[in-house]
């Protein structure tokens, strides 16, 4: 048995994969695969409409918010958000707490003025409290990434923007892992490949009063207004990815909904963090405890800077036991266990068992 701890594209629920396998040649009685289905057909329309309806139910999305399904992943939305919103005042505030929010800010700076509300730091290990932020009350929007996959930093609060400034959030890597109040946000987006489906689809939840304020230079494929008017069918959508994503939404509903996913996330991440904290420094996580990610757990072995030989040995033992893609991001090194919704508690317990055994064999 292989357990995939990848940061993305990530593990999908086995139930969903078996459902896909069963219906791959004949999707919903159509006689053809969803991969062959016209995106203009009534058969496909039911798939997309059901997926959006299920997502609305899971998150209790109000009627004044649109759900768009687009391509380009999170990186595509780095540009799309700026194209669609930065023209409101010509500038935007960015809360940079890791690699992905940093990249988003660099992208947006091509289309307007970007204000980094936090000082630049050499390492991302915390989320400074909002009282220390230097925000602009005239900003077009304030942007943050709720969970930074590379550094393992996850917000423990929802920022409160200045009056009239919409809040934009990249939730790619923790989407549908805990309850959220959609009304606190102007835009939420999530690349599917981390937590809700195959790579290729991005979910955008946007308040309707923010649609139609795009720059004149906005490419059609990134234009929220055009996508909304065309029911996300302006161009051929990633039909297979949307189909699988819809199955994941149904799987979440069957498994306790968002609250069920949140409870699983707490149990899995706490199990691993407890081992780290009780290892007398053998395992080391650099992230401040209150903002440790439930989705991506980064750690070093042997010291704060890591012991290359021990880390290589740990990764080899993990792979020998069927646990793959645990190597940390190339920019930070070490180990990273991604515990997305599809990772089960027993699978996490298998990793915990290895960590405890490895500690006992190497602690001296």
State the catalytic residue, choosing from 194, 251, 268, 327: 194
Nearest to 361 by CA among 327, 326, 310: 310
194 is catalytic: yes
Q: Exposure of 127 by Cβ count < 10 A (0-12 exposed, 13-18 middle, 19+ buried)?
A: buried
170 is catalytic: yes
Nearest to 59 by CA among 241, 257, 254, 250: 257
- For residue 37, what is the DSSP state? S
State the catalytic residue, choosing from 54, 100, 146, 251: 100
Helix (H) or strand (E) holding 100: helix 99-108
C-alpha span between 9 and 167 (Å, rounded): 27
State the catalytic residue, choosing from 93, 170, 268, 327: 170
Contact 71, 202 (CB under 8 A): yes
Both tokens of 350, joined, read 């298998």
CB atoms under 10 Å from CB of 154, counted, come to: 26
Both tokens of 155, joined, read 């917000």
Nearest to 144 by CA among 163, 130, 131: 130
For 97-161, list the strands marked E by DSSP: 113-116, 142-145, 147-148, 153-154
251 is catalytic: no
C-alpha span between 205 and 176 (Å, rounded): 13
Query: What strands lie across the sheet with 335-338, from one edge to the other?
Result: 283-284, 296-301, 335-338
Residue 183: how many CA atoms within 13 Å on its side-chain side?
A: 4
Nearest to 87 by CA among 203, 291, 224: 224
Catalytic positions, written as ranges = 100, 170, 194
């Amino acid at each position: 048995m292989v357990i995939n701890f990848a940061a993305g594209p990530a593990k999908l629920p086995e139930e969903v994969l078996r459902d896909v396998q069963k219906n791959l040649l004949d999707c919903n009685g159509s006689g053809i695969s969803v991969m062959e289905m016209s995106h203009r057909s009534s058969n496909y329309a039911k798939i997309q409409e059901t997926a959006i309806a299920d997502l609305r139910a899971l998150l209790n999305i109000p009627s004044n918010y649109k759900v768009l399904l687009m391509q380009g992943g999170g990186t595509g939305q780095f540009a799309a958000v700026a194209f669609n919103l930065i023209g409101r005042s010509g500038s935007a505030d960015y809360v940079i707490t890791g690699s992905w929010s940093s990249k988003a800010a660099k992208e947006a700076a091509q289309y307007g003025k970007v204000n980094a509300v936090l000082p630049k730091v050499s390492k991302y290990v915390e989320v400074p409290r909002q009282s220390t932020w230097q925000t602009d009350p005239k900003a077009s929007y304030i942007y943050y990434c709720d969970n930074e996959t590379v550094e393992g930093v996850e917000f423990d609060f929802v920022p409160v923007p200045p009056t009239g400034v919409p809040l934009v959030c990249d939730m790619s890597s923790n989407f549908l892992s805990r309850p959220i109040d959609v009304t606190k946000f102007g835009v939420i987006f999530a690349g599917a490949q981390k937590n809700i489906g195959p790579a290729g689809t991005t979910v955008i939840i946007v308040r309707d009063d923010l649609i139609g304020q795009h720059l004149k230079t906005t490419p059609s494929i990134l234009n929220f207004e055009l996508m909304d008017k065309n029911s996300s069918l302006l161009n051929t959508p990633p039909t297979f990815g949307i189909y699988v994503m819809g199955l994941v939404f149904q799987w979440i509903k069957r498994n306790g909904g968002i609250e069920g996913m949140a409870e699983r996330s707490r149990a899995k991440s706490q199990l691993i963090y407890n081992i780290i904290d009780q290892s007398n420094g053998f395992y080391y996580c650099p992230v401040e405890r209150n903002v440790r990610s439930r989705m991506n757990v980064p750690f070093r072995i042997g010291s704060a800077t890591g012991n290359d030989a021990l880390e290589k040995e740990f990764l080899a033992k993990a792979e020998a036991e069927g646990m793959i893609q645990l190597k940390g991001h190339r920019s930070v090194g070490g180990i990273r266990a991604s515990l997305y919704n599809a990772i089960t508690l027993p699978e996490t317990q298998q990793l915990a068992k290895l960590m405890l055994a490895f500690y006992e064999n190497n602690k001296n």
